[in-house]
Structure 1
Amino acid sequence: MLKTLKKLALATVFLTSVGHAAAMPNDPAPEFTGIEKWLNSAPLTMAQLRGKVVLVDFWTYTCINCIHTIPYVKRWHEKYKDQGLTVVGVHTPEFPFERLETNVKQAIERFGITYPVAQDNRYATWKAYSNLYWPAFYLIDKQGRIAYTHFGEGRYEETEAAIQRLLAQ
Protein backbone atom coordinates (compact mmCIF):
# COMPACT_ATOMS: atom_id res chain seq x y z
CA MET A 1 0.00 0.00 0.00
CA LEU A 2 2.77 2.41 0.94
CA LYS A 3 4.61 1.66 -2.34
CA THR A 4 1.45 2.38 -4.30
CA LEU A 5 0.96 5.68 -2.47
CA LYS A 6 4.57 6.69 -3.16
CA LYS A 7 4.17 5.91 -6.88
CA LEU A 8 0.93 7.88 -6.97
CA ALA A 9 2.61 10.81 -5.21
CA LEU A 10 5.52 10.76 -7.69
CA ALA A 11 3.10 10.65 -10.63
CA THR A 12 1.17 13.58 -9.17
CA VAL A 13 4.37 15.59 -8.71
CA PHE A 14 5.40 14.86 -12.32
CA LEU A 15 2.02 15.79 -13.74
CA THR A 16 1.93 18.94 -11.63
CA SER A 17 5.43 19.94 -12.70
CA VAL A 18 4.74 19.59 -16.42
CA GLY A 19 1.14 20.70 -16.20
CA HIS A 20 -0.28 17.71 -18.08
CA ALA A 21 0.57 14.27 -19.34
CA ALA A 22 2.49 15.47 -22.37
CA ALA A 23 4.29 13.00 -24.56
CA MET A 24 6.54 11.20 -22.10
CA PRO A 25 10.10 9.90 -22.36
CA ASN A 26 10.20 6.51 -24.10
CA ASP A 27 6.87 7.16 -25.84
CA PRO A 28 7.03 6.80 -29.62
CA ALA A 29 7.28 10.23 -31.23
CA PRO A 30 3.98 11.21 -32.82
CA GLU A 31 3.94 11.79 -36.56
CA PHE A 32 3.82 15.28 -38.08
CA THR A 33 0.15 15.44 -38.96
CA GLY A 34 -2.22 18.01 -40.46
CA ILE A 35 0.64 20.20 -41.62
CA GLU A 36 -0.67 22.90 -43.94
CA LYS A 37 2.69 23.83 -45.45
CA TRP A 38 6.34 22.85 -45.08
CA LEU A 39 8.81 25.75 -45.30
CA ASN A 40 12.56 25.33 -45.89
CA SER A 41 11.98 21.65 -46.64
CA ALA A 42 9.94 19.04 -48.43
CA PRO A 43 7.46 17.29 -46.10
CA LEU A 44 9.14 15.16 -43.44
CA THR A 45 7.95 12.08 -41.58
CA MET A 46 9.20 10.41 -38.43
CA ALA A 47 9.88 7.28 -40.49
CA GLN A 48 12.20 9.31 -42.77
CA LEU A 49 13.99 10.71 -39.73
CA ARG A 50 14.58 7.32 -38.05
CA GLY A 51 18.29 6.97 -37.29
CA LYS A 52 18.64 10.70 -36.60
CA VAL A 53 18.21 12.70 -33.42
CA VAL A 54 15.30 15.09 -33.94
CA LEU A 55 14.55 18.28 -32.04
CA VAL A 56 10.88 19.19 -32.47
CA ASP A 57 10.46 22.84 -31.48
CA PHE A 58 6.89 24.12 -31.07
CA TRP A 59 6.94 27.89 -31.53
CA THR A 60 5.08 30.87 -32.88
CA TYR A 61 6.72 33.98 -34.23
CA THR A 62 5.15 36.59 -31.92
CA CYS A 63 5.79 34.70 -28.66
CA ILE A 64 8.58 36.54 -26.83
CA ASN A 65 9.64 33.34 -25.08
CA CYS A 66 9.93 31.60 -28.47
CA ILE A 67 11.92 34.52 -29.85
CA HIS A 68 14.35 34.16 -26.95
CA THR A 69 14.92 30.45 -27.72
CA ILE A 70 15.49 30.86 -31.47
CA PRO A 71 19.22 31.73 -31.23
CA TYR A 72 19.84 28.55 -29.22
CA VAL A 73 17.87 26.37 -31.62
CA LYS A 74 19.68 27.89 -34.61
CA ARG A 75 23.05 27.32 -32.92
CA TRP A 76 22.22 23.66 -32.18
CA HIS A 77 21.08 23.17 -35.77
CA GLU A 78 24.33 24.59 -37.17
CA LYS A 79 26.58 22.86 -34.65
CA TYR A 80 25.05 19.37 -34.82
CA LYS A 81 23.33 18.99 -38.23
CA ASP A 82 26.36 17.21 -39.71
CA GLN A 83 26.47 14.87 -36.70
CA GLY A 84 22.90 13.63 -37.15
CA LEU A 85 20.63 16.25 -35.56
CA THR A 86 17.55 17.37 -37.47
CA VAL A 87 15.68 20.37 -36.11
CA VAL A 88 12.03 20.72 -37.08
CA GLY A 89 10.25 23.89 -36.06
CA VAL A 90 6.52 23.32 -35.71
CA HIS A 91 4.95 26.75 -36.08
CA THR A 92 1.62 26.61 -34.27
CA PRO A 93 -0.14 30.00 -34.28
CA GLU A 94 -1.55 31.66 -31.21
CA PHE A 95 -3.35 34.41 -33.13
CA PRO A 96 -5.25 34.33 -36.47
CA PHE A 97 -2.72 36.52 -38.31
CA GLU A 98 0.01 33.99 -37.46
CA ARG A 99 -1.74 31.47 -39.73
CA LEU A 100 -0.78 33.42 -42.86
CA GLU A 101 2.01 31.72 -44.77
CA THR A 102 3.46 35.06 -45.89
CA ASN A 103 3.78 36.20 -42.26
CA VAL A 104 5.46 32.95 -41.22
CA LYS A 105 7.86 33.15 -44.19
CA GLN A 106 8.76 36.75 -43.27
CA ALA A 107 9.42 35.68 -39.67
CA ILE A 108 11.61 32.78 -40.81
CA GLU A 109 13.61 35.18 -42.95
CA ARG A 110 13.80 37.85 -40.23
CA PHE A 111 15.08 35.32 -37.65
CA GLY A 112 17.42 33.62 -40.14
CA ILE A 113 15.87 30.18 -39.65
CA THR A 114 17.20 27.66 -42.19
CA TYR A 115 15.92 24.38 -40.71
CA PRO A 116 12.55 22.86 -41.73
CA VAL A 117 9.41 24.54 -40.41
CA ALA A 118 6.03 22.82 -40.44
CA GLN A 119 3.03 25.16 -40.42
CA ASP A 120 0.60 23.52 -37.98
CA ASN A 121 -2.36 25.91 -38.36
CA ARG A 122 -4.94 23.34 -37.24
CA TYR A 123 -2.95 22.25 -34.16
CA ALA A 124 -2.94 18.64 -35.40
CA THR A 125 0.72 17.94 -34.57
CA TRP A 126 0.39 20.05 -31.40
CA LYS A 127 -2.47 17.78 -30.29
CA ALA A 128 -0.63 14.61 -31.34
CA TYR A 129 2.10 15.60 -28.86
CA SER A 130 -0.47 16.66 -26.23
CA ASN A 131 1.46 19.91 -26.17
CA LEU A 132 0.25 22.98 -24.29
CA TYR A 133 3.22 25.34 -24.40
CA TRP A 134 5.18 27.79 -26.51
CA PRO A 135 8.04 27.13 -26.74
CA ALA A 136 8.28 23.38 -26.23
CA PHE A 137 11.19 21.09 -27.09
CA TYR A 138 10.80 17.37 -27.74
CA LEU A 139 14.04 15.50 -28.40
CA ILE A 140 13.53 12.27 -30.31
CA ASP A 141 16.18 9.53 -30.21
CA LYS A 142 17.46 7.55 -33.20
CA GLN A 143 14.83 4.86 -32.59
CA GLY A 144 12.00 7.40 -32.88
CA ARG A 145 11.19 7.63 -29.17
CA ILE A 146 10.87 10.77 -27.07
CA ALA A 147 13.99 11.02 -24.96
CA TYR A 148 13.73 14.52 -23.45
CA THR A 149 11.25 17.36 -23.12
CA HIS A 150 11.50 20.95 -21.99
CA PHE A 151 8.79 23.61 -21.86
CA GLY A 152 9.51 27.33 -21.82
CA GLU A 153 12.80 29.18 -21.79
CA GLY A 154 15.99 28.15 -20.04
CA ARG A 155 17.83 24.89 -19.43
CA TYR A 156 19.80 25.47 -22.61
CA GLU A 157 22.92 23.70 -21.31
CA GLU A 158 20.80 20.75 -20.14
CA THR A 159 19.07 20.55 -23.52
CA GLU A 160 22.38 20.72 -25.40
CA ALA A 161 23.81 17.99 -23.15
CA ALA A 162 20.79 15.82 -24.00
CA ILE A 163 21.40 16.44 -27.72
CA GLN A 164 25.07 15.45 -27.32
CA ARG A 165 24.15 12.34 -25.31
CA LEU A 166 21.64 11.16 -27.92
CA LEU A 167 24.02 11.83 -30.81
CA ALA A 168 26.71 9.76 -29.06
CA GLN A 169 24.42 6.72 -28.73
Structure 2
Amino acid sequence: MLSGIKSVAACAGLAACAAMAPAHAAAPTAAHTAPEFAGIDTWLNSKPLTLAQLRGKVVLVDFWTFACGNCINTLPAVKSWHAKYRDKGLVVVGVHTPEFPFEHDTGNVRRAIERFGITYPVAQDNRYATWAAYGNQYWPAFYLIDRKGQVAYTHFGEGDYAQTEAAIEKLLAQP
Protein backbone atom coordinates (compact mmCIF):
# COMPACT_ATOMS: atom_id res chain seq x y z
CA MET A 1 0.00 0.00 0.00
CA LEU A 2 2.72 2.47 1.00
CA SER A 3 4.70 1.81 -2.18
CA GLY A 4 1.54 2.49 -4.21
CA ILE A 5 1.07 5.81 -2.45
CA LYS A 6 4.71 6.72 -3.09
CA SER A 7 4.30 5.86 -6.77
CA VAL A 8 1.25 8.09 -7.08
CA ALA A 9 3.05 10.86 -5.18
CA ALA A 10 6.08 10.53 -7.44
CA CYS A 11 3.88 10.84 -10.52
CA ALA A 12 2.23 13.89 -9.00
CA GLY A 13 5.71 15.24 -8.29
CA LEU A 14 6.73 14.80 -11.90
CA ALA A 15 3.72 16.82 -13.00
CA ALA A 16 4.42 19.49 -10.39
CA CYS A 17 8.06 19.76 -11.42
CA ALA A 18 7.09 20.06 -15.06
CA ALA A 19 4.62 22.80 -14.17
CA MET A 20 7.17 24.64 -12.03
CA ALA A 21 10.06 24.59 -14.49
CA PRO A 22 9.81 26.56 -17.72
CA ALA A 23 11.21 24.76 -20.75
CA HIS A 24 13.65 27.50 -21.73
CA ALA A 25 14.65 30.06 -19.18
CA ALA A 26 18.36 30.71 -19.30
CA ALA A 27 20.13 33.98 -18.93
CA PRO A 28 23.31 35.56 -17.75
CA THR A 29 22.57 37.33 -14.52
CA ALA A 30 23.77 40.59 -13.09
CA ALA A 31 26.62 39.43 -10.88
CA HIS A 32 25.89 39.37 -7.19
CA THR A 33 27.53 37.54 -4.31
CA ALA A 34 26.31 33.95 -4.07
CA PRO A 35 24.60 33.11 -0.79
CA GLU A 36 26.29 30.56 1.47
CA PHE A 37 24.83 27.09 1.86
CA ALA A 38 22.37 27.53 4.74
CA GLY A 39 20.54 25.14 7.03
CA ILE A 40 22.21 22.01 5.64
CA ASP A 41 22.18 19.25 8.25
CA THR A 42 23.27 16.42 5.96
CA TRP A 43 25.95 16.31 3.28
CA LEU A 44 26.20 13.25 1.06
CA ASN A 45 29.30 12.30 -0.98
CA SER A 46 31.27 15.00 0.85
CA LYS A 47 32.14 16.58 4.15
CA PRO A 48 30.28 19.88 4.71
CA LEU A 49 31.26 22.56 2.21
CA THR A 50 31.08 26.34 2.23
CA LEU A 51 31.33 28.72 -0.67
CA ALA A 52 34.09 30.50 1.21
CA GLN A 53 36.17 27.28 1.04
CA LEU A 54 35.36 26.97 -2.68
CA ARG A 55 36.52 30.52 -3.53
CA GLY A 56 38.86 30.28 -6.51
CA LYS A 57 36.78 27.49 -8.05
CA VAL A 58 33.83 27.74 -10.41
CA VAL A 59 30.80 26.26 -8.64
CA LEU A 60 27.64 24.87 -10.20
CA VAL A 61 24.83 24.82 -7.65
CA ASP A 62 22.10 22.47 -8.92
CA PHE A 63 18.76 22.62 -7.10
CA TRP A 64 16.99 19.30 -7.64
CA THR A 65 14.82 16.66 -6.03
CA PHE A 66 14.83 12.96 -6.79
CA ALA A 67 11.15 12.57 -7.71
CA CYS A 68 11.19 15.42 -10.24
CA GLY A 69 11.26 14.21 -13.84
CA ASN A 70 12.75 17.46 -15.11
CA CYS A 71 15.55 17.17 -12.53
CA ILE A 72 16.25 13.57 -13.50
CA ASN A 73 16.42 14.60 -17.15
CA THR A 74 19.20 17.12 -16.38
CA LEU A 75 21.38 14.63 -14.49
CA PRO A 76 23.26 13.24 -17.53
CA ALA A 77 24.44 16.77 -18.40
CA VAL A 78 25.32 17.65 -14.80
CA LYS A 79 27.24 14.39 -14.31
CA SER A 80 29.03 14.96 -17.62
CA TRP A 81 30.11 18.48 -16.62
CA HIS A 82 31.32 17.17 -13.28
CA ALA A 83 33.42 14.47 -14.97
CA LYS A 84 34.71 16.74 -17.74
CA TYR A 85 35.58 19.86 -15.74
CA ARG A 86 36.26 18.82 -12.12
CA ASP A 87 40.02 18.65 -12.78
CA LYS A 88 39.83 22.10 -14.42
CA GLY A 89 38.33 23.86 -11.41
CA LEU A 90 34.58 23.12 -11.51
CA VAL A 91 32.84 21.96 -8.34
CA VAL A 92 29.28 20.69 -8.73
CA VAL A 93 27.09 20.80 -5.63
CA GLY A 94 23.64 19.27 -5.82
CA VAL A 95 21.22 20.93 -3.42
CA HIS A 96 18.47 18.36 -2.86
CA THR A 97 15.40 20.35 -1.84
CA PRO A 98 12.40 18.03 -1.34
CA GLU A 99 8.89 18.61 -2.57
CA PHE A 100 7.18 15.64 -0.88
CA PRO A 101 7.51 14.15 2.62
CA PHE A 102 9.23 10.95 1.40
CA GLU A 103 11.94 13.11 -0.23
CA HIS A 104 12.99 14.41 3.21
CA ASP A 105 14.27 10.96 4.23
CA THR A 106 18.07 10.80 3.99
CA GLY A 107 17.94 7.07 3.20
CA ASN A 108 15.71 7.76 0.20
CA VAL A 109 18.02 10.55 -0.98
CA ARG A 110 21.06 8.30 -0.51
CA ARG A 111 19.40 5.51 -2.55
CA ALA A 112 18.50 7.99 -5.31
CA ILE A 113 22.07 9.26 -5.45
CA GLU A 114 23.30 5.70 -5.82
CA ARG A 115 20.62 4.82 -8.41
CA PHE A 116 21.47 7.88 -10.53
CA GLY A 117 25.24 7.44 -10.14
CA ILE A 118 25.80 10.86 -8.58
CA THR A 119 29.33 11.19 -7.21
CA TYR A 120 29.54 14.94 -6.58
CA PRO A 121 28.58 16.51 -3.21
CA VAL A 122 24.88 16.72 -2.37
CA ALA A 123 23.53 19.01 0.35
CA GLN A 124 20.17 17.95 1.78
CA ASP A 125 18.16 21.19 2.10
CA ASN A 126 15.12 19.84 3.97
CA ARG A 127 14.30 23.19 5.56
CA TYR A 128 14.58 25.13 2.26
CA ALA A 129 17.15 27.44 3.85
CA THR A 130 19.57 27.41 0.89
CA TRP A 131 16.61 27.51 -1.54
CA ALA A 132 15.34 30.65 0.25
CA ALA A 133 18.81 32.22 0.42
CA TYR A 134 19.02 31.99 -3.38
CA GLY A 135 15.42 33.16 -3.82
CA ASN A 136 14.96 30.02 -5.93
CA GLN A 137 11.54 29.01 -7.22
CA TYR A 138 12.24 26.12 -9.61
CA TRP A 139 13.32 22.51 -9.90
CA PRO A 140 15.76 22.10 -11.55
CA ALA A 141 17.73 25.31 -11.27
CA PHE A 142 21.41 25.96 -12.04
CA TYR A 143 23.42 28.78 -10.49
CA LEU A 144 26.98 29.18 -11.80
CA ILE A 145 29.29 30.96 -9.39
CA ASP A 146 32.56 32.46 -10.61
CA ARG A 147 35.95 32.18 -8.90
CA LYS A 148 35.26 35.40 -6.94
CA GLY A 149 32.02 34.07 -5.46
CA GLN A 150 29.62 35.95 -7.74
CA VAL A 151 26.55 34.36 -9.36
CA ALA A 152 27.42 34.80 -13.03
CA TYR A 153 24.75 32.67 -14.77
CA THR A 154 21.43 31.02 -13.99
CA HIS A 155 19.23 28.56 -15.81
CA PHE A 156 15.83 27.22 -14.77
CA GLY A 157 14.32 24.03 -16.16
CA GLU A 158 15.64 21.62 -18.74
CA GLY A 159 17.45 22.36 -21.97
CA ASP A 160 20.05 24.83 -23.20
CA TYR A 161 22.79 22.42 -22.12
CA ALA A 162 25.25 23.77 -24.72
CA GLN A 163 24.65 27.31 -23.47
CA THR A 164 25.21 26.26 -19.85
CA GLU A 165 28.36 24.34 -20.79
CA ALA A 166 29.65 27.39 -22.70
CA ALA A 167 29.09 29.47 -19.55
CA ILE A 168 31.04 26.90 -17.51
CA GLU A 169 33.91 27.00 -20.03
CA LYS A 170 33.92 30.82 -20.09
CA LEU A 171 34.10 31.02 -16.29
CA LEU A 172 36.82 28.38 -16.10
CA ALA A 173 38.88 30.36 -18.64
CA GLN A 174 38.77 33.49 -16.48
CA PRO A 175 41.53 34.03 -13.89
Give the TM interval when normalised to the shorter protein: 0.7 to 0.9
Instruction: Measure the CA separation in 1 of the matches of 2:118 and 2:51.
Output: 21
**Where do 4+ consecutive residues of structure 1 move more than 3 Å?**
none
TM-score by length of 1: 0.86
TM-score by length of 2: 0.83
Q: Is 1:137 matched with 2:160?
A: no
Letter in 1 for 2:122: V
Number of aligned residue pairs: 148
Instruction: Measure the CA separation in 1 of the matches of 2:43 and 2:32.
Output: 25
Instruction: Measure the CA separation in 2 of the matches of 1:54 and 1:132.
Output: 20
Aligned to 2:163: 158
Letter in 1 for 2:51: M
Instruction: Measure the CA separation in 2 of the matches of 1:167 and 1:126.
Output: 25
Instruction: Measure the CA separation in 1 of the matches of 2:41 and 2:148.
Output: 26
Gaps of 5+ in 2: 1-23
Aligned to 1:29: 34
The 5 Å alignment of 1:3-152 reads 24-152=29-157
Letter in 2 for 1:98: E
The 3-state SS of whatever aligns with 2:155 is strand
Identity %: 72
When the two chains are superposed, the root-mean-square deviation of aligned CA atoms in Å is: 1.1
The 3-state SS of whatever aligns with 2:102 is helix
Gaps of 5+ in 1: 1-16, 19-23
After superposition, what is the alpha-carbon deviation per residue over 1:41-65, rounded to whole angstroms, capped at 9, x for unaligned?
0000010000000000000000000
- Following superposition, the deviation at residue 36 of structure 1 comes to 1.9
State which structure, 1 or 2, has the greater radius of gyration over its C-alpha atoms: 1
